[in-house]
Amino acid sequence: MHHDPDPTAPQTVRPPAARLLPLAALALLPLLAGPAAPSAAQEEGGSDSLSAAIGAYLDAQDELAALESDQEELEQELADSETEAAALEAELGEFAYIAYTASDFQSTAALMSSGNPTETIDAMSTLQFLGESRADRLDELIARLTEIEAMRETLADNIAEQEDLADEMESAAEEAARELAAAGGDDAVGPSPGDFPDPEDAPRNGDGTLPSEGCSEDDPTTSGCVSPRTLHALEQIQLAGFTRYVKCYRGGGGGEHPLGKACDLSSEPGGFGGVAYGEDFDYGENLAAWLVENADELGVRYVIWYERIWQPATGWRAYSLGNGDPNSDHTNHVHLSMR
C-alpha cells in the first residue's frame, strides 16, 4: 500500500526554483506585512510572504462577495421593475382602447344623452388624467430600468475584474505555499481542531466525481511529479498552516508515491527524525485530524499516523510493521495518499 520515507535520504531539501509572484500580489505584500523590519522568514521568502499572499487573496474574495451581493439585489430590483413595467403597459393598452372606442362622436353622444353632463365631463377628465399619470409613471419606470441596466453592466465589469484579482491572489498564495513546502517549513504547530480552516475543494467532474489523473505536475518537494489533486492537497495543507518538512514523489516500489499521489509530511521541521513527542506529536495529531476532517473535499484515499491508518470506509484502526522504526511505524510523519 505505502512505502515509508527512505531513512538514508538526505534530510535537507533542494532550494525552491526562483518564482515571481503576480504584480498585484507584490504591490499588496508591503501593505499587508506592515512596516516592521523583515524577519528571517521574510528574507527567505517564508511564512510571512505566505501570510501576506493569503491575506491579499482573502481581501479580494471578500470584495468579490460584496459585489456579488450587490448584483443580486440589483437583479431582483430589475426583475421587480420589469414586472411593474409590463403591468403598466397592459393598463395603458386598455386605456388606449377605451379612449379609441370613446371617440369624439361617441363622447358627444354620451354627453348629450346624459342626465348629468357635469358628471360625464368629470368622468372623462378623470379618465384622461389617469391615462396621463400612467404614461408619466411608465416613462419614469423606463428611465429607472435604463439606470439599473447600466448599473448592472458596471457591476458585471467590476465582478469580472475582482474574479481576475481573486484568481491572481490565489495563484500568489499557492505559489508561496509551494515555495514554503520546498523550503522545509518552520516550527509552527499548525491549527488545532477548534481552529481548523476549510480547504478549497478539489476540482471535480460535472457529476461530482473526481477526474482520473496522472503524474503530470511538478512536485515542489522533489524533482519528481505529482497528480493535480495531490498538488492541490499539498497547497491546501500549506495554506491551512501545516508547513513543516514534506516529501511527495518517490520512484520505485508500490503504493501511491511512484504515481505522484502520496506525500509524507514530517511531524518535525527539517526532515524525518525520531519518534514524535510533545509539540511534534501535537503537530502530527492536528495534521492527521485536519486531513481526515477534509478527506472528502480533498479526495483523500487514506491517512497513516502513529501506528494507525484511517480510511473512509473503516475509520481509524491499528497499523504497524512492528519493527520499531519511526519511518515504518509512521511515528515521525503523517502519510497521505490521494484518490
pLDDT of residue 186 exceeding 60, the answer is no
Which stretch of DSSP H or E encloses residue 265? Answer: strand 262-266
* Domain limits, the chain: 22-183, 190-338
The grid coordinates listed for 142 are 423606463
Strand partners, 218: 225
What pLDDT, on a 0 to 100 scale, did the predictor assign at position 132? 76
What pLDDT, on a 0 to 100 scale, did the predictor assign at position 52? 66
Residue 248's SS3 state is coil
pLDDT in tens, 218-254: 999 999 999 999 999 999 998 888 989 999 999 988 8
Average pLDDT over the chain reads 76
pLDDT of residue 55 exceeding 50, the answer is yes
- pLDDT > 90: percent of the chain: 36
pLDDT in tens, 121-145: 666 666 666 677 777 777 777 787 7
Cβ proximity of 215 and 226 under 8 Å: yes
What pLDDT, on a 0 to 100 scale, did the predictor assign at position 226? 97
pLDDT in tens, 80-101: 877 877 777 777 677 667 666 6
Scanning the chain, the segments in alpha helix (DSSP H) are 23-33, 40-43, 47-101, 104-113, 117-183, 228-240, 278-293, 295-298, 326-329
What pLDDT, on a 0 to 100 scale, did the predictor assign at position 260? 97
Cβ proximity of 303 and 336 under 8 Å: yes
| pTM, rounded to two decimals | 0.56
